Structure 1
Amino acid sequence: MAHRSKAMDDFFANMPNPDAIFQSWWPWIFAFGSGSLYGVRQWLRGPKCTGGNKLHNKVVIVTGASSGIGKEIALNFANRGGKIIMACRDETQGKLAAEDVRKETENMDVYFSKLDLNSFKSIKDFVERFKKKEKRLDILVNNAGVMMCPEGKTEDGFDIQFQTNYLGPFYLTELLLDILKESAPSRIINTTAAAHNLGDIDLEDINFENRDYNAGESYSQSKLAVVAHTFHLAERLKDSKVTCNVISPGICNTNIYRYLPLKQKKFIRISFAPFMWFLMKTAEDGAQLSVYCGTTSEMAEVTGKHFKDCKEEKVNEKANDKLLQEQLYQASLKWTKSAAAAIEGGDDSQTNSSDKKDEDNEKKVTRRKEKVVQSVMERVSLS
């Protein structure tokens, strides 16, 4: 017992003097350093959308909503009372994500619907199912995307990054334009990335068939196409009360980086985990811009703009090139014409005169089909 008392006496005897601690600069240095790091971290996370309207009686589609930013957007919109359609490629993950959102928000109007942007047929099927069940669409968030994936082609014959990031959302949006117009005022939100500033669009070799494939060039090309298309679409819709804007969520620590060594290599992933946590936004942070553009009153009539950190930001001059926008639009119509023909079950728009009678009969049948056909075929006939 005496031994323990001596040990305790020695312990207290060797403790630093509290008064001496606060006479030192070290506590102040520590406090200032910690506060500075916290401030930098919060700045890197970007602003939060603390306002915005409720979404009662509003119908929202969010693509790529099984995880990451898309799921966070769905959570936020569901908390505001909206009817949320979580459009996801993976059925298992999509259903689990929808169940998570329902439980967390106590909003039972949250549903999974299968959508694979790498398949025009899947896009068409999704729109048909949606229009059979819903009479309106108030917000379309084209969030789904892929980054720096290995070279490959979709079942429709396009570069995976180009179709997932641009051509699939283009086709989806065209098919939904009629219901968006009927539901006006409504909003379209497209997603790009800072890489669009490095992009070039080669309309003659969109699939890298006549040049060496470069994952970075493919990605930046697809993201530049998103911006150019958004500006062109906003101009087309300027009298319809359907707004169309494009956003750059920033660098977020989500699964989109799964093809990069930073995520693929276990040693690198573990080693850089603290730095990634500190320097990268969370998925919730990345969702704030879609929430801002989709719910705030100040964005109700804003269209044809690019936003980053909840404020307008200028883009590369190439994205503002009117000629490039029109050429991309016309090319996209031709690229998706095969899908439109599949919906119709008939010939392309350049049917010769000997087939005129058959074409007229097909048009009569077409008028009785669902509205999913109309918005695309109107535009395909322009090519």
Structure 2
Amino acid sequence: MGQGLSSTQFYVFGKKHFTETGYIKHIKKYADPLQKAAGIRFGAEGADGVDMTGKVVLVTGANSGIGKELATYAAAKGAKLYMLCRSKDRAEKAKNEIMEATLNDNINILLADMGELAQVRKMVAELQEKEPKVDCLVCNAGALFNDRRESSEGNEITFASHLLGGSYLLSQLLLPQLKASESGRVIFVSSGGMYNTKFPSWEIATNASKEKYDGQFAYAYAKRGQVLLAEELAKSVPEVSWVSSHPGWCSTDAVDAAYGENKKYLEPMRSAWEGAEGIAWLMSTQSGLESGEFYLDRSPQPKHVAFGSFTKNKPEEVQEMMDKLKSAAGL
């Protein structure tokens, strides 16, 4: 019963807020300027007034979808951009497109699969040789698979890429650089799908049994984990701002691959930029950022919409998640 109520309430809430209709309603309440595309450069007509010159920005999963929009935005505002990608060919193609659109040639590619912890460590070491500080890290990489996939290190790939490697390990390894920034911040790109569930036991979240795999829930578990992670790190590492956010229901290649014809239930869907825009604001805002919160369209959101306590974790459950993440990451 609890799961049925949770899923129903999530869908009703999503239809109101996560669609393009919700976006159009939300932007009417914005206090800061809004621009209509990611690639509008600082000082150009239609720009929002943000200048990120001198800022070092890292975006994972930066070669497509929401990640590419965020990378384009940072480059358009004059930031030094690092695109953290898995595929060299796709990364190079996206880099060239972003350079052409923004006229910013200070764009760099670092290659790693966020689901492979050894690759994350190697990539971070390479970055740390180049940069004494990081102003903004956007943890966006990952995908939703309907079949179970495993990394070379034996981790279920959705959990590893979204949460273990792509959010926890990556951000913890970069703490020296993030603390060196005057306004260091980390944004975990979560999903409204996390409203469906609490973070389950470690064994279920990681699909340790390799049985009864459900790709939708593997994704939701990892996304709920990102929201909890931002909450916990906001308390334990206050020198850095930690937020989670989600883009709403967007029309991207990843959504097409995951949902197919069922994406019709998410319509009217947002464009990639409409989904990314509120996250771009989090990358650059100098005021009003509430560490530990879960954002949509520039505003903190409730973290639970389900009946009763069905999606809420007890403090001891959250602590177990944090302890297990540390151990699994080898920290």
- Coarse TM-score class (shorter-chain normalised): 0.7 to 0.9
1:295 aligns with 2:299: no
More helix per residue: 1
Residues of 1 paired with 2:20 and 2:293: CA distance?
28
Residues of 2 paired with 1:294 and 1:319: CA distance?
28
Residues of 2 paired with 1:277 and 1:314: CA distance?
20
1:201 aligns with 2:200: yes
User: Which residue is equivalent to 1:374?
Assistant: none
- Structure 1 position 41, deviation (Å): 5.4
User: Which residue is equivalent to 1:231?
Assistant: 231
1:176 aligns with 2:165: no
1:236-263 Cα deviation digits (max 9, x unpaired): 112x1x100000111111122244351x
Residues of 1 paired with 2:202 and 2:22: CA distance?
39
1:142-181 Cα deviation digits (max 9, x unpaired): 1112113311111121111111111112110110011101
Residues of 2 paired with 1:216 and 1:42: CA distance?
24
Matched residue type, 1:231: E
Matched residue type, 1:329: M
Residues of 1 paired with 2:312 and 2:72: CA distance?
32
Task: Indicate the structure (1 or 2) with the bigger Cα radius of gyration.
Answer: 1
**Counterpart contact for 1:52–1:297, Cα < 8 Å:** no
Cα distance, 1:52–1:119 mapped onto 2, change above 3 Å: farther
1:121 aligns with 2:118: yes
User: Which residue is equivalent to 1:23?
Assistant: none
**Counterpart contact for 2:23–2:297, Cα < 8 Å:** no
Residues of 1 paired with 2:206 and 2:313: CA distance?
23
1:132 aligns with 2:132: no
User: Which residue is equivalent to 1:323?
Assistant: 316
Instruction: State percent identity of aligned pairs.
Output: 24
- In structure 1, the residue corresponding to 2:68 is in which secondary structure? helix
User: Which residue is equivalent to 2:38?
Assistant: none
Q: CA RMSD in A?
A: 2.3
The aligned runs of 1:263-274 (5 Å cut-off) are 268=261
User: Which residue is equivalent to 2:222?
Assistant: 222
Cα distance, 1:261–1:333 mapped onto 2, change above 3 Å: closer
User: Which residue is equivalent to 1:189?
Assistant: 187
User: Which residue is equivalent to 2:45?
Assistant: none
Residues of 1 paired with 2:230 and 2:68: CA distance?
23
Residues of 1 paired with 2:284 and 2:208: CA distance?
42
Query: Which runs of 5 or more structure 1 residues have no equivalent in the other structure?
Result: 1-39, 263-267, 338-379
Matched residue type, 2:114: L
**Counterpart contact for 1:166–1:226, Cα < 8 Å:** yes
Which gives a bigger RCO, structure 1 or 2 (Cα 8 Å, sep 6+)? 2
**Counterpart contact for 1:60–1:139, Cα < 8 Å:** yes
1:309 aligns with 2:297: yes
Matched residue type, 1:311: S
- In structure 1, the residue corresponding to 2:108 is in which secondary structure? strand
1:90-142 Cα deviation digits (max 9, x unpaired): 11000111111111100111112112111111101110111111121000001
